[in-house]
Structure formats: structure tokens, C-alpha cells
Amino acid sequence: MRALIQRVTEASVTVENSVVGEIGAGLLILVCAMQGDSRAKADALAAKISKLRIFTDDAGKMNRSLLDTGGAALVVSQFTLAADTSRGNRPGFSTAASPDLGRELYEYFTAALNNHAIPTAKGQFGADMAVRLLNDGPVTIWLDL
């Protein structure tokens, strides 16, 4: 699975002029299931993100995790993370999981984060979403498991 995580002071997702998910301080997680991904990979990604030490401690060092800070996660499905731009100017997305598997792993990943005691909110799978965020740092990290 692939994820782009951004440390935020707040973030929200709007679909058709209605907010469907929002958080205060924590992480905005853009996530993409790839062909061949499984629940085991979703579990590993959730565990990694919940323990990733990217929040500052009292000394100003990135030494605290989402678990340590009590922050939340806003999870947004984003198949475009599977973009292959190696040929031509139009990205290809053939390495992304099928929509059915993508939806299953997106829901499973969100639940796995919640199982790690991370409060979660989410976007709407397959919808045209407006994502708003206030990046903190900025801190943006790419994960590919």
C-alpha cells in the first residue's frame, strides 16, 4: 500500500458541499491500495503510521508519534498515488488495485488505525472530494509498503 501523510493542525473533506470528515491536530493520510496488496499490508501500514515519530517533543525534536500526542487521522482514498509517469505525459494507473479491492482495503486500513487507538475520520471512497488542510511544519512523508 502507498500513503502520503501530512502532519496537520486541522484537515477536512467535503463532498457535494457537505463536510464528510474532519480532524484537528494529527495526520491527513492519502492512501492507495496497489495490485497485490492485502489486509496484512494494510495492518503493517496502520501500525507504522501510528508509531511514526514525526511530532515534536518539548525539545523541538521530531520524537513523538500520533499515539503519543493523542492526535487524529483523516484518511482519504487516492488512487492517483499509483500514477506511473514513466512513459509520455499522461499518467497510467494500471498498478492500482481494482475499485472493489481498493474500497475493501481503504475501509480495512481505516479500521486498523482505529484499532491502534487512533481516532479516525475519512473521506468518501470514489467521490469527487475537496480536501482542506493546514500543514504543520510542513511535514509530508511518502510511505510505500
Q: Which residues are catalytic?
A: 78-80
Four-CA torsion 108, 113, 116, 121, nearest 10 degrees? -120
Q: How far apart are CA 137 and CA 116, in angstroms?
A: 25
Q: In this structure, what are the phi and psi dihedrals at residue 10, rounded to the nearest 5 degrees?
A: -165, 155
In 59-129, beta strands by DSSP E:
62-64, 72-77, 120-122
